[in-house]
Amino acid sequence: MTIHSAKKKTTYSISQLAKHFDITTRAIRFYEDRKLLSPERHKSHRIYRESDLVRLKLILRGKRLGFSLEEIRKTMELYDTEPNEKAQLVFVLNTISSHRKELELRQEDIRNTLDEMKTVTHRIKKKLQELDGT
């Protein structure tokens, strides 16, 4: 287990990354194939830096939120570029705004689900107390 390092620039192998995020190396290579990652290479071997860790974190969070890899790629690309032309800046603002509304809807979904869970949980606990009472 050798951690590549040069001048405090910590780097990771693909299997180290996989272990850290509890995913397979296949998945990581797949994300690269889909242009979500682009690590350095040392004679064909992939070398991951901190920035790649951040990106991978974002990828996995995006997946947990149900976004496709393509959507995640576009979003990261959007945040990466940060243009200077007014039109582009406005476009980014609008895109983010639309994503935000999406997420707020999901938040509502979760809130409603959690509420229903609480109701059911309460009902079941009452039922259990009745069973204990008899």
Partner DNA sequence: GCTTAAGTTGACGTTTACGTAAACGTGATG
Partner DNA sequence: CATCACGTTTACGTAAACGTCAACTTAAGC
Site string for DNA, 108-127 (x = CB under 7 A): --------------------
Rounded to an integer, what distance in angstroms lies between the CA atom of residue 96 and that of residue 35? 21
Q: Is 100 within 8 Å of 107 (Cβ atoms)?
A: no
By CB under 7 A, tell whether 46 contacts DNA: yes
Footprint (CB under 8 A) of its own copies, residues 87-116? 89-90, 92-93, 96-97, 99-100, 103-107, 109-110, 112-114
> Helix 25-33 and helix 50-64: axis angle, to 10°?
90
Q: Is 45 within 8 Å of 13 (Cβ atoms)?
A: yes
Positive or negative, the Cα torsion across 55, 58, 63, 69?
Answer: negative
Pick 3 or 87: Cβ nearer DNA: 3
What are the residues binding its own copies (CB under 8 A)? Answer: 61, 64-66, 79, 82, 84, 86, 89-90, 92-93, 96-97, 99-100, 103-107, 109-110, 112-114, 117, 120-121, 124-125, 127-128, 131
